[in-house]
Amino acid sequence: MMRKLHQAARFVRRRIASSPTIALVLGSGLSEALGRLEREQRLGWERIPHFPRSTVAGHAGEWVFGLFEKKPVLVSRGRVHFYEGYAMSEIVFPIRVMKLLGIEKVILTNAAGAINREFSVGDFVLIRDHINMIPDNPLRGENIAELGPRFPNLLDAYSARLRALAKEAARELGLELREGVYIATPGPMYETPAEIEAYRRWGADLVGMSTVPEVIAARHCGLEVLAISVVTNMAAGIGSDKLTHEEVLEVTKRRERDLAQLLRAIVARM
Per-residue three-class SS string for the chain: CHHHHHHHHHHHHCCCCCCCCEEEEECCCCCCCCCCCEEEEEEEHHHCCCCCCCCCCCCCCEEEEEEECCEEEEEEECCCCHHHCCCHHHHCHHHHHHHHCCCCEEEEEEEEEECCCCCCCCCEEEEEEEEECCCCCCCCCCCCCCCCCCCCCCCCCCCHHHHHHHHHHHHHHCCCEEEEEEEECCCCCCCCHHHHHHHHHHCCCEEECCCHHHHHHHHHCCCEEEEEEEEEEECECCECCCCCHHHHHHHHHHHHHHHHHHHHHHHHHC
Q: Which of the residues are catalytic? A: 28, 59, 81, 83-84, 111, 209-210, 233, 245
What CA–CA distance (Å, rounded) separates 16 from 13? Answer: 6
